[in-house]
Amino acid sequence: MRRFDYLRPKSLKEALQLKKTIAGAKYISGGTDLIVQIKNRELQPTTLISLRSIPELARIEINGGARIGALATISDLIQHIELGHNYPVLIAAAKRLGSLQIRNVATTGGNLCNCSPSADMALPLLVLEAKVRLQSAKASREIPLSEFFKGPGKSCLSSDEIMTDILLEPPSQKTKATFLKKGRVKMDLAIASLALLVEIEGGRCRKARIAAGSVASMPLRLFDVEALLEGSTISKDSVSKAQQLARDTVSPITDLRATEEYRRHVVGVYMKRGLEKVFG
Amino acid sequence: MKNFHYIGKETPRPDAPDKAAGKALYIHDLERPGMLYGKIKFSNHPHARIKHIDASKAERLNGVRAVITANNSPEVRLGFLGDNVALKKDKVRQYRDEIAAVAAIDPDTAEEAVELIKVEYEPLPGLFSPQEAMKKGSPLIHETDAQGRPRTDNLVPLRYRHQSGDLDAGKRAAKYVAEGEFSTPRVQQCCMGTAGCIAEFDMNSNLTIWAKTQIPFLAQRDFNRALSDMGLRDKNTRIIVPALGGGFGTGLDTHAYEYIAILLAYKTGRPVKIVYARDEEFAYLSPRQSSITKITQGCDQNGRLTFREVEVLQDNGAYTSWGATYPSVMMMPATSLYRVSNIYFNAKLVYTNNTFCQAMRGYGNPEHTWALESNSDELAREAGVDPYEFRIINCNKPKETTPMGFKVSTCGLKECLQTVAKKLDWKKQNKKGKCRGKGMASLVHVGGGGRIYRSDASGLILKLDDFGNVNAYHGGVEMGQGLHSVLTLGIAEALGVRPDKVFINPLDTSTCPWDVGTHASRGAFMACNAAILAANKLRGKIFKLAEELFPQEAEKNLKKYRKKNPGYKPPAFDFVKEAKKERFDLKDGSIFIKGAPPEPWLSLDLGRLLRAIHFRTQGQMLATEVFYDPPNELPDFAKGFGNISATYAYGTQGAEVEVDTETGEVKILRMVAAHDVGKVLNPRALKGQIYGALAQGIGYALYEELQSEKGKIVNPNFRDYKIPTAQEMNFPIDLEFIETNDSFGPFGAKGVAEPGLVPTAPAIANAIYDAVGIRVRDLPITPEKILSALKKLKASKG
C-alpha cells in the first residue's frame, strides 16, 4: 500500500476546505470499500480526509420522516428502534449487508457513494424515494436518490461535495415492502437483489416502487414494471407479467459471480416472490 | 473393554487458551533482530520466454538490501520430480512463476521495489486443459526433464495403475451398468494463517528457518540439499515450527518462497521474512488438484458389484508437487470401498499452464469418492435396489484383504451405514411437494499411518523432571487439529500421570526426534502409539528404581504419618518384600504396590521418587526415547498394490436437503455422520475434526472453486472465493462414533482427520437427486448448474 496522509477534521466546513487545498485527497468514512481499493491499487490518494469526527454527520433524527446522517453506520440503523419500526425494509437490507464487523464500520452514505450496482442500502432507499443532501463549501442541494447514480463507481456527487444526509418521507401505513437478496452464500455481494414497495387498496395496486441490484450498471428503479402494476389488480397473470417484464427490463452482465441469464432469472423470481409476499 | 482414566473423556485442548487469547505466536507474529522483508516478483504471463529482466531501478531504491534473479543467484531445484526451480531463468510456465525477489527494510519498500522490476517476455501459446495439452503437436511445457533429457509430450512421468480380477468377466456378469464422468475443481485450503517463513544464517553458514510446515524433517532434507546447491556443502538446517494457523496439506511440500527467503538471507546476511498476503495465498500457493474421473460399475441382479473401471485425468499444472500423487490415494476407494473383485484403475497426469497443485485434506479421496459414490447411487437405482441396501450388500467386512492388498483389521462400515440410515429415517418417505431428499455416501481412508515414504515412523522423547512433570519432544505438527490434545492424553494415560503434568515442547528439528510429517490422518495414531511405547519404557525404568527406593521412602512416610496420627497401627503388609518392579503401578502421578492396602503413606508421589533418584550419590534423571514405525508397507503404485496403512478408517455420512427449484439453491436441512474411529481419544477434539472437515466438504460440494481464466486466478480473495460460514452451517449435525477398538490403534484408535470431508459432496449430490431427480456431475453444485439440469430434465420429460 502506498503511503498517504490521514486528516481528521472536526467540522464539515473544515473538511470541505481541506479537500479543496490538497491535491489528490479523498474522503473516507467507514473505509470498507475505499481501503480495499487502495490496497488493490485502484486508488492512490495522497491524503485521506476522515469524516468520522464530524458528529452531526452520524446523527439519525426522526421528524415525521427521517434524516439519516451519511456517516451513520449500518449497525447504527439496525439498532435504531424507531427507524426500524417506521422503515422495516431498510433494516431488512441493512441486516444482509456484509458481516457484523463490516456493518459496524461501513456507513450508509459510504454504501451509496461507492456507487456499486450491488449496493444493498440503495434498494430500500430507492423504493422509499429517499433524497440525498449534497453539500459543497458554497451550496447545498437535495436530489432524489434515483438521480444520484450514474454508473459503476459514478454519481452526480462532484469532487467538492460531501453527502451529508439521507432524507426519508414519513412512512405510510398503507404501504408494504420487502427486500430479497441472492448471494453465492449468505454473506456476499448480491448477485441479484430486489426491493419492492406497494400500496394496495381493495386488491388493486395503487402504487408500486421497485428497485433491483446487481443487474445493471447501477442500482436500478424498474419504472416499467411499476407502471405495469400500478392500477392493476394483483392476479396470477399480472404477477407473471411483472416477473417477465422484470427479467426483460434489467441489463445484467456475466462475470465470475454469476451469468447474465441467472441474474435475470433471479430478478424475475424475486419479482414474483416479492409480490406474493406483500399481497399475502 | 479396558477402562481408561483420561482417554475418551471430554477434555479441553491445552493449546486452546493461548490461541483464544492471542498469545500463541504464529509466523506473522515473529520478528528477528535486523530482520528484512522479502517480496517476490511473479510472472504475468502463463507461458512465455523471459527475454530480459531489468532490476536496476529496484536495486537503487532506498531501503532495498538485495534483489535476486536467476541471473545472480544459484539454481535451487524443488519438487519431488525436480521439475521446478526457485527462480525462473529462461521461461515461465504459469502465472505464479517466481522471476525475482527483493529484501528490504520494510514491507512497503519491498513491494515498491518489486513493482520497479521490469521483465520483457516473448509470449508462447498457453495450454489450459489436460485434453488440450495431451493433443499431438501441442507445444511442450517442459522441453526437457530435470536431468536435461528431451521430452516429447506433456504427460507427467508418473504411473498409477491397478488391475485385479478379470474385468471382462466382471462386465459379462453385470446385469446393470452405470457409467459417468465426474469432475472436481481446484479449491484452496484456506488456512486462517497464510504461508510464510523467516530464514536466518549464523556466522558458520548454518541455516535456521521458522517455517509453516507439516514436514519439518523432510523439509530439513530439502533445505540441506538447497544449501548444497548454493555451494554450502555439509551445512545444516534447523527448522523451528511456530504455531500454525491451519495446514490442510499446504505444509506437505517445501515452497519456492522458502528457498527465496533462504537465498535472500544468505545474500544479505540478515534474517529475511516472507509472508503471503491473502491474495498471494490464493494466487501463488498450490491448491487442491482438479480431476476428471470416468467411472463405470456393474452389478448382478442382486445388486452385488461385479466390476469397476476407472480412468482418471488430472490437470497437473506447470510443475509437480504432491497434487500429482493424488491417484495413489484415489486407488484406495477405487479398490477398497465396497467389495468388488474385477477392477481396472488408471490415472494420467498432464502438464498445463495452470497453477500447479499440492496436498489438501483427503488427498484424492474426496475427488474419487465423489465419482464413486455418485455412480454407486446411480447403479443402485438402475438395478432397482435401494441405495442404502446396495451399500449394505457390497459392504466391506473385518479381516478381509482388499484387491489392493489392504489388510483390513477392524471395519465398522456396516454399523456406520446402519447408523446413518436410522438417524436419517431412511425408509420414511420424503415430504410431498417440498423438493426434499436424502442421500448418503461412505468412505475408506488410511487410519493407521500411510507409508508413502521409506519410513512412516514417528519419534518421541519423554523427559521427567524433579517435580514429576513430563516434557515431551515429538516430531508431529500441531496445526490446529488437536494433536497436542491427544498426545497429552495418550502420555498421561499410558504413563499414569495427570494431563496437566504433561508439556509438549515446541517443534524444533534440533531437539525433537524424526517424524515423516503430519499428513494422512496419521498424527494421533502415530503420536499415541509412540506415547504408549515410551510410557512403557519409562514405567520399566521407574519401577526398577522404585524397587530400590520405595521401601526407604515409604518408611519415611510412615514415620511422618505416625507422628500426625498417634496410636496408628499400620495394616500387616510387608512393603519391603512386596516392592518388586513387576508389582508396582503408577496412576495420577502416584506410585503404589498393586494390591497394597490403601494407606496414604504407601503411595509415593512420582516427583518425590524422581528427586530421590536424582539427588543420591551417582544419581540419575529419567528420560526415554522411542521410534514407532507402524506395521504397514510402501505400495507399488504402478502396480496398485500394497498394505499402505496399519488399519483403515470407515465412515458414512448422510444429508437431507431441500432444493429451491426456482432459484436452484440447495438448503441443507441436516447432516448425519457415523465414523469408525476405532476408539474416541478426546470426544471434544474429535467432534471438532469431523465438524470442520464436514464444513470443508460442504464448501467443496456447493460453493468453492478457484476460478481461472487462461491460467490466471480470477478470484484470489474471500469476496469471490466463497467458503461456508456459520450462516451456511446453520443446520443440525448428528454425529456418532463407532468404536471398533482396533488392535493396531493406540488405545484402539484410528486416524480420522480427513474422513469428515471425503463423502460429504456425494452424500449431498445423492440427496439432491433424491429430491428433484437431477445429477450434477461437476463440483461445485451451484444453483445455475441445478437450474440447467432441471431444465434438461423437464425437456426430456416433454
Give the pLDDT mean for B692-709.
98
- Dihedral (Cα; A157, A162, A165, A167), 10-degree rounding: -20
Q: Do B396 and B339 contact (CB within 8 A), yes or no?
A: yes
Specify which residues B182 forms β-bridges with: B293
Query: Residue A40 — very low, low, confident or very high, per pLDDT cuts 50/70/90?
Result: confident
pLDDT at A2 over 80: no
Mutation choice for B interface testing from A2, A184, A255, A261 by most B CBs within 10 A = A184
Cα separation, B705 vs B781, whole angstroms: 10
Give the pLDDT confidence score for residue B553 in this predicted structure.
Answer: 94
Q: Do A167 and A65 contact (CB within 8 A), yes or no?
A: yes
Give the pLDDT mean for B621-632.
97
Cα separation, B741 vs B748, whole angstroms: 4
Give the pLDDT confidence score for residue B514 in this predicted structure.
Answer: 98
Q: Which of residues 665-684 of B touch A (CB under 8 A)?
A: 665
Same fold? B31-124+195-275, B457-628: no
Instruction: Determine the distance in angstroms separating the CA of B25 from the nearest CA of chain A, rounded to an integer.
Output: 24
pLDDT at B217 over 90: yes
Q: B787 and A262 in contact by Cβ < 8 A?
A: yes
Into which CATH architecture does domain B31-124+195-275 fall? Alpha-Beta Complex (3.90)
Q: B720 and A266 in contact by Cβ < 8 A?
A: no
Q: Which of residues 518-557 of B touch A (CB under 8 A)?
A: none
All three cell numbers of B764, joined, read: 449431498
Mean pLDDT score of chain A: 96
Percent of chain B at pLDDT > 90 equals 98
Residues B133-182 pLDDT 10s: 999 999 999 999 989 999 999 999 999 999 999 999 999 999 999 999 99
Give the pLDDT confidence score for residue A1 in this predicted structure.
Answer: 67
Give the pLDDT confidence score for residue B767 in this predicted structure.
Answer: 98
- Dihedral (Cα; B560, B561, B567, B573), 10-degree rounding: -110
Into which CATH architecture does domain A55-168 fall? 2-Layer Sandwich (3.30)
All three cell numbers of B353, joined, read: 499452464
Structural fold of domain B291-396+409-452+634-797: Aldehyde Oxidoreductase; domain 4 (3.30.365)
Instruction: Determine the distance in angstroms separating the CA of B119 from the nearest CA of chain A, rounded to an integer.
Output: 20
Q: Does B115 touch chain A (CB under 8 A)?
A: no
User: What SS3 state is found at B679?
Assistant: coil
| Domains of chain A, residue spans | 5-50, 55-168, 175-278
Cα separation, B420 vs B436, whole angstroms: 17
Q: A259 and B727 in contact by Cβ < 8 A?
A: no
Q: A185 and B722 in contact by Cβ < 8 A?
A: yes
Residue type, B575: F
Q: Does B278 touch chain A (CB under 8 A)?
A: no
Which chain B residues touch A186 with a CB distance below 8 Å? 725, 727-728
DSSP string for B479-500 = SSS-HHHHHHHHHHHHHT--GG
pLDDT at B515 over 70: yes
Structural fold of domain A175-278: Enolase-like; domain 1 (3.30.390)
Residue A3 has its nearest CB partner, among B108, B714, B787, at B108
- Dihedral (Cα; B735, B740, B742, B743), 10-degree rounding: 150
Q: Do B125 and B139 contact (CB within 8 A), yes or no?
A: yes
Mean pLDDT score of chain B: 97
Which chain A residues touch B723 with a CB distance below 8 Å? 185
Q: At what angle do helices A260-278 and A236-249 cross, to 10 degrees?
A: 150
Cα separation, A109 vs A69, whole angstroms: 8
Mutation choice for A interface testing from B61, B278, B280, B662 by most A CBs within 10 A = B662
CB–CB contacts below 8 A, A to B: 38
Distances in Å between the alpha carbon of A192 and those of A213, A253, A254, B32, B774?
Answer: 6, 11, 12, 49, 25
Identify which of B632, B630, B631, B696 has the alpha carbon closest to the alpha carbon of residue B332: B632
Instruction: Determine the distance in angstroms separating the CA of B654 from the nearest CA of chain A, rounded to an integer.
Output: 22
Structural fold of domain A5-50: 3.30.43
| Backbone angles phi and psi of B135, in degrees to 5 | -60, 145
pLDDT at B1 over 80: no
pLDDT at B54 over 60: yes
Q: In CATH terms, is domain B457-628 a member of 3.30.365.10?
A: yes
Give the pLDDT confidence score for residue B429 in this predicted structure.
Answer: 80
Q: Which of B63-72, B143-152, B266-275 has the lowest mean pLDDT?
A: B143-152
| Domains of chain B, residue spans | 31-124+195-275, 291-396+409-452+634-797, 457-628
Give the pLDDT mean for A186-190.
96
All three cell numbers of A151, joined, read: 454508473
Cα separation, B339 vs B305, whole angstroms: 7
Q: Which of B53-57, B573-577, B743-747 has the lowest mean pLDDT?
A: B573-577
Residues B228-256 pLDDT 10s: 999 999 999 999 999 999 999 999 999 99
Give the pLDDT mean for B5-16.
94
Which chain A residues touch B725 with a CB distance below 8 Å? 185-187
Q: Does B106 touch chain A (CB under 8 A)?
A: no
Q: Do B488 and B504 contact (CB within 8 A), yes or no?
A: yes
Cβ neighbourhood burial of B582 (10 Å; 0-12, 13-18, 19+): exposed
Specify which residues A26 forms β-bridges with: A48
Give the pLDDT mean for A181-203.
95
Give the pLDDT mean for B437-444.
98
Q: A256 and B707 in contact by Cβ < 8 A?
A: yes
Q: A256 and B720 in contact by Cβ < 8 A?
A: yes
- Count helices and strands (H / E) in chain B: 19, 31
Q: Do B68 and B101 contact (CB within 8 A), yes or no?
A: yes
Residues B494-510 pLDDT 10s: 999 999 999 999 999 99
Instruction: Determine the distance in angstroms separating the CA of B108 from the nearest CA of chain A, rounded to an integer.
Output: 7
Q: Which of residues 219-238 of B touch A (CB under 8 A)?
A: none
Beta strands in B430-567 (DSSP E): 436-446, 458-464, 470-474, 502-504, 507-508
